Structure 1
Protein backbone atom coordinates (compact mmCIF):
# COMPACT_ATOMS: atom_id res chain seq x y z
CA UNK A 1 0.00 0.00 0.00
CA UNK A 2 1.15 3.50 -0.79
CA UNK A 3 -0.15 7.02 -0.61
CA UNK A 4 -2.26 9.17 -2.91
CA UNK A 5 -2.08 9.12 -6.70
CA UNK A 6 -0.79 12.71 -6.56
CA UNK A 7 2.68 11.23 -6.06
CA UNK A 8 2.39 9.27 -9.29
CA UNK A 9 0.53 11.39 -11.82
CA UNK A 10 2.47 14.33 -13.17
CA UNK A 11 0.84 17.63 -13.97
CA UNK A 12 1.87 17.26 -17.61
CA UNK A 13 0.35 13.77 -17.92
CA UNK A 14 -2.81 14.94 -16.19
CA UNK A 15 -3.07 17.93 -18.55
CA UNK A 16 -1.97 16.17 -21.74
CA UNK A 17 -4.02 13.02 -21.31
CA UNK A 18 -6.96 13.41 -18.94
CA UNK A 19 -7.75 17.11 -19.37
CA UNK A 20 -6.97 17.09 -23.09
CA UNK A 21 -9.44 14.25 -23.72
CA UNK A 22 -12.01 14.52 -20.93
CA UNK A 23 -11.78 18.09 -19.61
CA UNK A 24 -14.78 20.40 -19.99
CA UNK A 25 -13.07 22.44 -22.72
CA UNK A 26 -11.65 19.45 -24.63
CA UNK A 27 -12.24 19.55 -28.38
CA UNK A 28 -11.61 15.80 -28.81
CA UNK A 29 -14.66 14.23 -30.44
CA UNK A 30 -16.07 10.96 -29.14
CA UNK A 31 -14.91 11.30 -25.52
CA UNK A 32 -16.93 11.73 -22.34
CA UNK A 33 -16.33 15.14 -20.75
CA UNK A 34 -16.24 16.29 -17.13
CA UNK A 35 -18.26 19.35 -16.09
CA UNK A 36 -16.13 22.46 -15.65
CA UNK A 37 -17.07 22.72 -11.96
CA UNK A 38 -16.00 19.15 -11.17
CA UNK A 39 -12.57 18.86 -9.51
CA UNK A 40 -11.12 15.97 -11.51
CA UNK A 41 -7.99 15.51 -9.38
CA UNK A 42 -10.08 15.35 -6.20
CA UNK A 43 -12.50 12.97 -7.93
CA UNK A 44 -9.66 10.62 -8.86
CA UNK A 45 -8.21 10.81 -5.36
CA UNK A 46 -11.61 10.22 -3.71
CA UNK A 47 -12.28 7.28 -6.01
CA UNK A 48 -8.97 5.61 -5.23
CA UNK A 49 -9.07 6.29 -1.50
CA UNK A 50 -12.78 5.86 -0.74
CA UNK A 51 -15.63 3.49 -1.36
CA UNK A 52 -15.49 2.27 -4.96
CA UNK A 53 -16.31 -0.69 -7.11
CA UNK A 54 -13.19 -2.35 -8.50
CA UNK A 55 -13.11 -4.32 -11.75
CA UNK A 56 -10.48 -5.98 -13.88
CA UNK A 57 -9.72 -3.80 -16.88
CA UNK A 58 -11.67 -4.42 -20.08
CA UNK A 59 -10.70 -6.02 -23.42
CA UNK A 60 -7.99 -8.18 -21.82
CA UNK A 61 -6.01 -5.06 -20.91
CA UNK A 62 -4.05 -5.52 -17.69
CA UNK A 63 -4.98 -3.41 -14.70
CA UNK A 64 -8.05 -2.27 -12.85
CA UNK A 65 -10.96 0.14 -13.12
CA UNK A 66 -12.17 1.91 -9.99
CA UNK A 67 -15.72 3.27 -10.25
CA UNK A 68 -17.37 5.76 -7.89
CA UNK A 69 -20.94 7.02 -8.09
CA UNK A 70 -21.91 10.63 -7.41
CA UNK A 71 -25.40 11.84 -6.56
CA UNK A 72 -25.16 14.69 -9.08
CA UNK A 73 -23.90 14.98 -12.62
CA UNK A 74 -20.12 15.27 -12.99
CA UNK A 75 -20.09 15.34 -16.79
CA UNK A 76 -21.63 14.16 -20.04
CA UNK A 77 -21.52 10.67 -21.54
CA UNK A 78 -20.78 10.93 -25.27
CA UNK A 79 -22.08 7.43 -26.08
CA UNK A 80 -25.41 7.57 -24.24
CA UNK A 81 -25.92 11.34 -24.42
CA UNK A 82 -26.88 11.24 -20.74
CA UNK A 83 -25.51 13.15 -17.79
CA UNK A 84 -22.68 11.24 -16.14
CA UNK A 85 -22.70 10.58 -12.41
CA UNK A 86 -19.94 7.94 -12.28
CA UNK A 87 -16.19 8.42 -12.51
CA UNK A 88 -14.06 5.61 -13.92
CA UNK A 89 -10.37 5.64 -12.96
CA UNK A 90 -8.18 3.18 -14.88
CA UNK A 91 -4.93 1.93 -13.34
CA UNK A 92 -2.21 -0.26 -14.79
CA UNK A 93 -1.20 -3.42 -12.83
CA UNK A 94 1.37 -1.36 -10.89
CA UNK A 95 -1.24 1.15 -9.82
CA UNK A 96 -0.32 4.04 -12.14
CA UNK A 97 -3.33 6.13 -13.17
CA UNK A 98 -3.78 5.73 -16.93
CA UNK A 99 -6.97 7.72 -17.40
CA UNK A 100 -10.13 8.93 -15.75
CA UNK A 101 -13.45 9.83 -17.33
CA UNK A 102 -17.09 10.47 -16.43
CA UNK A 103 -19.76 7.95 -17.37
CA UNK A 104 -23.51 7.52 -17.15
CA UNK A 105 -23.15 3.87 -16.15
CA UNK A 106 -21.25 1.60 -13.83
CA UNK A 107 -19.62 -1.36 -15.53
CA UNK A 108 -21.97 -4.07 -14.16
CA UNK A 109 -24.94 -2.41 -15.84
CA UNK A 110 -23.46 -2.83 -19.30
CA UNK A 111 -21.04 -5.72 -18.94
CA UNK A 112 -22.16 -9.13 -17.75
CA UNK A 113 -19.98 -11.79 -16.14
CA UNK A 114 -17.85 -9.35 -14.18
CA UNK A 115 -16.46 -10.30 -10.81
CA UNK A 116 -16.80 -7.20 -8.68
CA UNK A 117 -16.11 -6.16 -5.14
CA UNK A 118 -17.13 -3.22 -3.02
CA UNK A 119 -13.96 -2.09 -1.34
CA UNK A 120 -12.71 0.59 0.96
CA UNK A 121 -9.06 1.40 0.65
CA UNK A 122 -7.04 4.06 2.40
CA UNK A 123 -4.42 3.59 -0.28
CA UNK A 124 -4.10 2.01 -3.69
CA UNK A 125 -1.16 -0.01 -4.97
CA UNK A 126 0.96 2.36 -6.99
CA UNK A 127 4.21 1.92 -8.87
Structure 2
Protein backbone atom coordinates (compact mmCIF):
# COMPACT_ATOMS: atom_id res chain seq x y z
CA UNK A 1 0.00 0.00 0.00
CA UNK A 2 1.40 3.38 -0.95
CA UNK A 3 1.97 6.04 1.68
CA UNK A 4 -0.64 8.52 0.33
CA UNK A 5 -3.26 5.78 0.29
CA UNK A 6 -2.52 4.96 3.92
CA UNK A 7 -2.72 8.65 4.82
CA UNK A 8 -6.12 8.95 3.17
CA UNK A 9 -7.33 5.75 4.80
CA UNK A 10 -6.23 6.94 8.24
CA UNK A 11 -7.99 10.27 7.76
CA UNK A 12 -11.12 8.50 6.49
CA UNK A 13 -11.00 6.28 9.54
CA UNK A 14 -11.05 9.31 11.80
CA UNK A 15 -14.43 10.14 10.37
CA UNK A 16 -15.72 6.61 10.94
CA UNK A 17 -15.46 6.75 14.73
CA UNK A 18 -17.57 9.02 16.92
CA UNK A 19 -15.57 12.20 17.38
CA UNK A 20 -17.81 14.52 19.39
CA UNK A 21 -15.85 14.09 22.62
CA UNK A 22 -12.51 14.31 20.84
CA UNK A 23 -13.61 17.53 19.13
CA UNK A 24 -14.64 19.04 22.47
CA UNK A 25 -11.32 18.06 24.01
CA UNK A 26 -9.40 19.43 21.03
CA UNK A 27 -11.10 22.79 21.39
CA UNK A 28 -9.91 23.02 24.99
CA UNK A 29 -6.32 21.94 24.37
CA UNK A 30 -3.66 23.88 22.55
CA UNK A 31 -1.65 22.09 19.87
CA UNK A 32 1.22 20.16 21.39
CA UNK A 33 3.56 17.48 20.17
CA UNK A 34 3.02 14.16 21.88
CA UNK A 35 5.63 11.44 21.87
CA UNK A 36 4.43 7.87 21.36
CA UNK A 37 6.41 4.72 22.06
CA UNK A 38 6.89 2.03 19.42
CA UNK A 39 4.65 -0.40 21.38
CA UNK A 40 1.86 2.22 21.45
CA UNK A 41 2.16 2.76 17.72
CA UNK A 42 2.25 -1.00 17.13
CA UNK A 43 -1.04 -1.29 19.04
CA UNK A 44 -2.46 1.56 16.97
CA UNK A 45 -1.41 -0.17 13.73
CA UNK A 46 -2.96 -3.45 14.90
CA UNK A 47 -6.22 -1.70 15.76
CA UNK A 48 -6.17 0.20 12.47
CA UNK A 49 -5.77 -3.03 10.50
CA UNK A 50 -8.78 -4.53 12.32
CA UNK A 51 -10.83 -1.42 11.66
CA UNK A 52 -9.99 -1.52 7.95
CA UNK A 53 -11.21 -5.12 7.80
CA UNK A 54 -14.41 -4.19 9.63
CA UNK A 55 -14.94 -1.19 7.34
CA UNK A 56 -14.63 -3.43 4.30
CA UNK A 57 -17.08 -5.89 5.84
CA UNK A 58 -19.69 -3.27 6.73
CA UNK A 59 -19.45 -0.91 3.73
CA UNK A 60 -21.48 -3.12 1.35
CA UNK A 61 -23.96 -3.96 4.10
CA UNK A 62 -24.52 -0.27 4.82
CA UNK A 63 -24.89 0.49 1.13
CA UNK A 64 -27.49 -2.28 0.79
CA UNK A 65 -29.49 -1.24 3.88
CA UNK A 66 -33.21 -1.15 3.18
CA UNK A 67 -33.82 2.05 5.16
CA UNK A 68 -32.21 4.60 7.44
CA UNK A 69 -33.07 2.64 10.59
CA UNK A 70 -31.27 -0.45 9.28
CA UNK A 71 -28.29 1.66 8.22
CA UNK A 72 -28.10 3.32 11.64
CA UNK A 73 -28.30 -0.07 13.38
CA UNK A 74 -25.51 -1.43 11.16
CA UNK A 75 -23.44 1.68 11.80
CA UNK A 76 -23.84 1.30 15.58
CA UNK A 77 -22.90 -2.37 15.31
CA UNK A 78 -19.82 -1.58 13.21
CA UNK A 79 -18.70 1.18 15.58
CA UNK A 80 -19.11 -1.15 18.55
CA UNK A 81 -16.93 -3.74 16.84
CA UNK A 82 -14.36 -1.08 15.93
CA UNK A 83 -14.14 0.07 19.54
CA UNK A 84 -13.81 -3.55 20.65
CA UNK A 85 -10.98 -4.03 18.13
CA UNK A 86 -9.21 -0.95 19.51
CA UNK A 87 -9.53 -2.27 23.06
CA UNK A 88 -8.44 -5.76 22.01
CA UNK A 89 -5.29 -4.20 20.53
CA UNK A 90 -4.55 -2.73 23.96
CA UNK A 91 -5.66 0.89 23.56
CA UNK A 92 -8.64 2.84 24.78
CA UNK A 93 -10.83 4.62 22.24
CA UNK A 94 -9.46 7.94 23.52
CA UNK A 95 -5.84 6.79 23.16
CA UNK A 96 -6.55 5.59 19.63
CA UNK A 97 -8.21 8.88 18.69
CA UNK A 98 -5.37 10.87 20.25
CA UNK A 99 -2.81 9.05 18.11
CA UNK A 100 -5.04 9.35 15.03
CA UNK A 101 -5.44 13.10 15.61
CA UNK A 102 -1.69 13.48 16.09
CA UNK A 103 -1.13 11.94 12.66
CA UNK A 104 -2.79 14.97 11.09
CA UNK A 105 -0.21 17.43 12.37
CA UNK A 106 2.93 15.33 12.79
CA UNK A 107 4.43 14.10 9.50
CA UNK A 108 7.21 12.20 11.31
CA UNK A 109 4.64 10.31 13.39
CA UNK A 110 2.62 9.56 10.26
CA UNK A 111 5.73 8.14 8.63
CA UNK A 112 6.42 5.91 11.67
CA UNK A 113 2.86 4.56 11.56
CA UNK A 114 3.02 4.07 7.79
CA UNK A 115 6.17 1.97 8.22
CA UNK A 116 4.45 -0.19 10.84
CA UNK A 117 1.43 -0.62 8.58
CA UNK A 118 3.61 -1.52 5.60
CA UNK A 119 5.42 -4.14 7.66
CA UNK A 120 2.13 -5.83 8.49
CA UNK A 121 0.30 -4.88 5.27
CA UNK A 122 -3.44 -4.39 5.65
CA UNK A 123 -5.10 -7.49 4.12
CA UNK A 124 -6.61 -7.01 0.67
CA UNK A 125 -9.98 -8.43 -0.33
TM-score tier by shorter-chain length is: under 0.3
The TM-score, its normalising length taken from structure 2, stands at: 0.28
The TM-score, its normalising length taken from structure 1, stands at: 0.27
Q: Flag the structure with larger Rg.
A: 2
Structure with the bigger percentage of strand: 1
Structure with the bigger percentage of helix: 2
